[in-house]
Chains A and B, each alone.
Chain A
Amino acid sequence: MEVTITFDANVYSSDAIKKAAYRSINKFAINIVNDGSNIKCSLTFKATTTESQIKSYVDEFKKEVLDQDLRESIKKETEGIRNLILAHTFSKTGLIKDE
């Protein structure tokens, strides 16, 4: 069973759609095509998936795309603050030799 959903490429990024699809990787396979103005997603479900399950998985996917779009905005605005952490990891181990 295959379902096709189209997203407006001016509204959503391919990344947001890919991330949303990844979260449903255990429910359907997906092919994503971006023609510049539209992003076409072809969702393929296992033969055992029922109609009502398909409907709920598709709805879930659409909602997830919206969430991913929000996550993208947050990431863009807050990117600079993230990378302060790893330096602490091996700082006192004695494993890092002076150059």
Chain B
Amino acid sequence: MQPILVVLVFATLAAFAAPLGVLPLRSRTAVPPAWLGWANALAAGFMLGAAYVIAETALVDHPVRAAAGALLGIGYTHLSHRASGVGDIDLNQLDEVDPSYGYRILFVSGLHGAMEGLAIGLAMLESLPFGILVALAMAVHNVPEAAVLGSVLRSSGLGPVRTAGLAVAANIGQVLLAIVAFAIVPAIPGLLPWAFGFAVGGLTYLAISELLPEAYDRAGPVSIALVTSVATGFVVLLRGIVR
């Protein structure tokens, strides 16, 4: 298979894992809060692990350009959160939600998915097997993310099919960015460390601002810290195995 097709297939797989998180919500049984917390922590750990591995390649060879790229990634993510008024939004709020909350969640998921797409594309550039692992990690991580999004949208009165559709839609930008990053970044000389840095900064910022705060609220610091560090270590270890 052509490398770019590998990117397409696995990034699409990651995006289409999202409706799996919507399925269990057919009955309106509530997800136990601690589980949501652990799912968030798992997602945060996967993101931090991917950020670490991408940083390992870029920062050691081109520390200044990668760090400048990282600051750009942080600044971009911070400003897009602040400017759109979602900087302090609680992503796992399940009761007393109004429809506008649902759409703001959708917007945040889109932003978040874009950064993940960039990570998948760049990880594929590192090596295809490692990229596939990152895509699978993001697929796993999209499931609980969509579960939250889904239960919010469902409770604001949306049908199951539309909810599943929106969950995919929120992640579809991921596929595009993965392919664009994979195709364009190596074609522009000198762009690589900037792009790697950008993804590292963005992923770190998102893990800290979106995933960890709610996780702590729902399951307490010790179990969250354990799940997060094990998930991070898992990605770092896999990188060692899949060269």
Same assembly: no
Binding site for A on B (CB under 8 A): none
Binding site for B on A (CB under 8 A): none
